[in-house]
Amino acid sequence: MKARFFGKLTCLLVSSFLVGCSGTYHSYKESLSYAFNPEPDVELTLAQVTASAADLVYFRQGEHRQITLALAFIEQGQHKWVSTDNVVIAMQQGRVVRTQGFANDLLYVESEIADPLAQGINIVNGANWQSKVDWAVDEYGYPVSSTFARPQPDTLSLFGQQFDVLKVVETLNYDAPSQYLRFNQQWQNIYWFETSSGQLLKTQQKFSPLQIPMEFTFVSRAVRLISKGERNATN
Amino acid sequence: MRLIKPLIFSGLFLLSPMALAKVAVTVDQQTFMFDSAVRLDAVLAVTAKERSVYWPAAALYRVNDADVAQLRNTALGLLDKLVQQAIPEQQVLLRQLTAEVNSWQLAKRLPLKIDLDLARLSLAANPLLQDEQYLLRLPTRPKNVYVFGAITNAGKVLPHQAVSFAQDYLRLVTRQSADHNQLTVIQADSRVIPVALYGSGRAYQEIQPGGVLFVPFKSSLFDKDFTELNRVLVELVAYRVLP
């Protein structure tokens, strides 16, 4: 009788531990699963991009998979790109000026002078810019200064086509005193403009040294350029 | 005969509360009237057009809320009681604070993130406004912070300082009968953040443009009135309409 009771109790305890562990085990298994079998990047065909009613951009943050954002709104000089889970990224003349939906959103970018990035391929070597930035983690008015280098010729390959581009490198400095030890107060943003149209085709950028870099590839623009025949076929 | 039923249903609809609901939204002294219940994104599409809005400080208030008036009366009653008991120096400060509290425009802030993009994309951020009067604040990036409480003159508007902590603003005011161990930050987006000034819990907290810094009164276990005053003032200032 006693043995039967303790046997049943043991079974009950073992099964309760298994239930308690299953949540942790499941998430551990999922983490391992992602590490060894990460979801693939989104890659669209020319036909898919052409068929899209909205302009599309590839977006990648750090090492995460590439996804697609759609252009939802154009207003007040900003292009607002939206993900399927309602993350919003507002860009102004190719620069991210606001985000909504990230762990640390960029709330606001302010400058007393015009952004030299608006000049695109006509950016003057040594052009500089100062801005102040607000972040959702309660950081307000953080000064960022930047300098642009002369655009350099480069090529971009998209949809099997080679595009002649001008690569613009912006070197940025985070001028704010830091609460924490920061080893790196300087970084670079890169912009690739298609040579003949001057359109921005790709950019890698961030607005603070600790921010995970964001990469945008403007696939709808590329497809329009392809269809207009404005490419340098090398194949 | 065939038309009678649709006519009856149309009539019933027109007389229904939703159909009769009128919504008034005031932005910068201009009032927009809507003949029926309206979603927030539709209101923002009209009111936020061509504005450069600092969305963290945007807020929607319900006007004429009885709870707000009640809370102000509670604060004023406490202040009056404390004036009767206080030493002359403290009486001056408490009377100044009474005038300060009386000067606040108050309304019930809705616990909602006001953001045009969010409202257009998410139903949770796009409530239906119905049959009420609302006040909508759509400020540009505020240039100031408001400091009030146990300080000389009870209240002061100071320029917002970039890359600065709450305690940095204390250099610009004179504390009086104040608790020197803590502050309370009420951000422009309505978050309330206690800030410890000493000890292991010492915090470095920045104030959002348009935010509020409350300097609490010194209180003790034997002096519950000041403890209660501190609590009520923090609750009440959250209803202060951002200028």
Q: Minimal CA–CA distance to B60: which of B174, B229, B185, B189? A: B189
CB within 8 Å of chain A, chain B residues 17-56: 50, 52, 54-56
Q: Is the pTM of this model over 0.90?
A: no
Using an 8 Å CB-CB cutoff, list residues of chain A that contact chain B. Answer: 72-73, 76, 80, 82, 86, 88, 90, 100, 107-108, 110, 132, 134, 136, 138-143, 176-177, 179
Contact A89, A102 (CB under 8 A): no
Percent of chain A at pLDDT > 70 equals 78
Question: Would the CB atoms of A108 and B141 count as touching at under 8 Å?
Answer: yes
- Please give the average per-residue pLDDT across B160-181, as a whole number: 95
Tokens encoding A102? 């990230």
Complex ipTM: 0.87
Angle (nearest 5°) at CA B63 between B28 and B207: 65
- Per-residue pLDDT at A7 exceeds 80: no
Test mutation, A85, A111, A137, A140, chain B, max B CBs within 10 A = A140
Mean pLDDT of chain A: 84
Tens-digit pLDDT profile for residues B26-69 = 998 899 999 999 999 999 999 988 889 999 999 999 998 889 99
Closest approach of chain B CAs to the CA of A2, in angstroms?
A: 54
Question: Would the CB atoms of A90 and B117 count as touching at under 8 Å?
Answer: yes
Say which residues have a Cβ less than 8 Å from residue A62's Cβ, sequence separation at least 6.
Answer: A212, A213
CB within 8 Å of chain A, chain B residues 137-156: 141
Tens-digit pLDDT profile for residues B92-120 = 999 999 999 999 999 999 999 999 999 99
Q: Residue B207: list chain A partners with CB under 8 A.
A: 140
Helices B88-103/B66-85 angle, 10° precision = 170
- Per-residue pLDDT at A89 exceeds 80: yes
Contact A180, A165 (CB under 8 A): no
Range list of H helices, A135-203: none
Question: Would the CB atoms of B163 and A142 count as touching at under 8 Å?
Answer: yes
| Residue labelled with tokens 């930050």 | B185
- pLDDT number for residue A35: 52
- pLDDT number for residue B205: 94
Number of Cβ atoms within 10 Å of the Cβ of A158: 21
Tokens encoding B56? 């963290």
- Please give the average per-residue pLDDT across A214-234, as a whole number: 83
Question: Would the CB atoms of A140 and B160 count as touching at under 8 Å?
Answer: yes
State the virtual CA torsion across B231, B233, B234, B236 in degrees, nearest 10.
120
Contact B195, B164 (CB under 8 A): no
Angle (nearest 5°) at CA A153 between A149 and A156: 115
Tens-digit pLDDT profile for residues B188-219 = 999 999 999 988 877 789 999 999 999 999 98
Q: Residue B54: list chain A partners with CB under 8 A.
A: 108
Amino acid, single-letter form, for residue A196: S
CA B235 to chain centre: 9
- pLDDT number for residue B203: 78
How many Cβ pairs within 8 Å bridge chains A and B?
Answer: 55
Contact B180, B197 (CB under 8 A): yes
Minimal Cα distance from B164: which residue of A?
A140
Angle (nearest 5°) at CA B129 between A136 and A87: 30
Phi and psi at B103, nearest 5°, equal -80, -15
